[in-house]
A and B are shown apart, each in its own frame.
Chain A
Amino acid sequence: MNRLKFLLLVSCGITGLTVLLAEPVFAYVDPGTGSYVLQLIIAGLVGFAFTLKIFWSRLRVFFQYNILKRKNPPGGPKGEDE
């Protein structure tokens, strides 16, 4: 999970360098459009990260379960649920 966080940090850090300073908005018109567009822009990234997270979590549960099943007698601790 730390690796995933690191990769996310690097990819977003690069994007973030261009936006280090947000400029003030003085006219408070409906800001819904910006929010709408931003979601479409980050959709791929958050979708990919989420898929990876679920995959990683399932993989971990699978290995933990199999390893623990071998190490511990029935009734012992089981892998954490997703």
Chain B
Amino acid sequence: MNNGKEGGSFRDPRGFIFFSQGRLYRQVNAGYRDEYDRLIKSGLYEELVTSGLLVEHEEVDPSLAGSGQAFKVLRPRMIPFVSYPHEWSFSQLQDAALATLAIQKLALEKGMSLKDCSAFNIQFEGCTPVFIDTLSFEIYRKGEPWVAYRQFCQHFLAPLALMSFRDVRLNQLFRVYIDGIPLDLASSLLPLRTRFSFSLLTHIHLHARYQRRYQGETEKPRIRKSMSLNSLRGMIDNLETAVKGMRWAPRGTEWAEYYQDTNYSPEGLDIKERLLGEFLEGVSPGTVWDLGANTGRFSRVAVQKGHYVISFDIDPAAVERNYLQGRAQRSKNLLPLLLDLTNPSSGMGWGGEERMSLSRRGPADTALALALIHHLAISNNLPFERIAGYLSGICDSLVIEFVPKEDSQVRRLLVCREDIFDDYAQDKFEEAFSRYFQIERSEKILDSLRTLYLMRKRG
């Protein structure tokens, strides 16, 4: 944050986000008066909010403004947890793209158009995408092409095509390219068959070529042609068909069958669920980060206890399944996200402040680290001390499961490597964690060799 201004809110001269006394506000500058009035008076705002596509706001006293150019000050409804496209599964990005196109279609009906199509303008509330940038609308000018077309292709179409036709992990390119995947890069990575699809040939391959051809232009090309509203609608429709047509089916990755492959019996899993439920009754409702959630079985226990749960996992297939299940259940309190805890999202963009690191989006009220410790300590060679130190920085309470060396999952990790983990023992685990946390409860999980702990951060 900069003098109350949110770190990523500087590109648009017509307004910005700022914080005051812990509340989030959006200032609308005088230069956006006509567009804002049209947004409200045309009924577009109301229609978008009613259909759940745009986050609602209330207009508040303009004297709260962060600077002198204010025309309005808005207080938008807060999104419980901010997430970014490289943390989304395939279907999350696809739903975000479809929500953006649905907004553009409604906007055109009301004589407006999206001027900004960044994937970062979409946030998820549970499993529902919602557009958050109220100042992204401009008045539609007859004959003009879509100003956000390039951004839509870079932020949605190209990454979806790469995930669908090449490799689902390629959404990680968002961590490098904050303004979407460069189309020449997408074009070179996509397989030949994508050149035989009209949409991908046009919007990615040809688009990349035209970007190259006109990259040195210093003046707007003098083309007499204009783009009719019907053509613009046709292009939006074509983009929508392309997005809907892309598929990725989660199957057979690292954790996809994990629940069928643990040392827990079905009864053991039920016992663990009940015990977790008991532990969670001891913490006040708030935000829970389930670290290593797989497809979210235990995240749902926390949801039932009244928490808003961010259900993280490293495996795109697990996150996809978790999201599809949550979407089918219209879950408002469960947000599945992709996360490699050994390399969590860092700050991105200008000054590393435009997009927040994971830890800046915390701390969570409670973190769950179930069946996770052995992956961190053995697969990633992390000493208990380092794990405890990091976890104490991202949560206030911790429910953590200790998995001993005798457990089948740990034995599996040690099958092909030398056991150099003499310190991997329960007493050492308790000793290290006690430096950062107060151990409040510990219970053996019946029908297994594992122990579940409830801890609270010291100080």
Please list the residues of chain A having a beta carbon within 8 angstroms of any beta carbon in chain B.
8-9, 12-13, 15-16, 19-20, 22-25, 27-29, 31-44, 46-51, 53
Contact = CB atoms under 8 A, between A and B. Distances in A.
A24 B227 contact: no
B232 to A, nearest CB: 8
A53 B208 contact: no
A42 B216 CA distance: 22
Contacts of B237: 46, 50, 53
Given A34-B214, A46-B234, A22 B227 contact: no
Interface in B176-227: 182-185, 187-188, 192, 195-196, 198, 201-202, 205-217, 220-221, 223, 225-227
B202 A42 contact: yes
- Among B149, B182, B210, B217, the most chain A Cβ lie within 10 Å of the Cβ of B210
B150 interface: yes
Contacts of A19: 201, 205-206, 209
B330 to A, nearest CB: 23
B228 A38 contact: no
Contact of B211 (A13, A31, A48): A31
Contacts of B225: 40, 43
A20 B193 CA distance: 11
A60 to B, nearest CB: 16
Given A19-B206, A19-B209, A22-B187, A46 B231 contact: yes
Given A33-B220, A43-B228, A16 B211 contact: no
B195 A38 contact: no
A12 B201 contact: yes
B260 interface: no
Contact of A24 (B188, B210, B231): B188
A8 to B, nearest CB: 5
Given A29-B215, A43-B228, A38 B184 contact: no
Contact of B234 (A35, A37, A49): A49
Contacts of A42: 202, 235
Contacts of B212: 22-23, 25, 34
A17 to B, nearest CB: 9
Given A22-B187, A25-B215, A32-B150, A43 B145 contact: yes
Contacts of B217: 33
Contacts of A48: 234
B233 interface: yes
Nearest to B196: A13
Given A43-B145, A43-B228, A51-B230, A34 B201 contact: no
A25 B227 contact: no
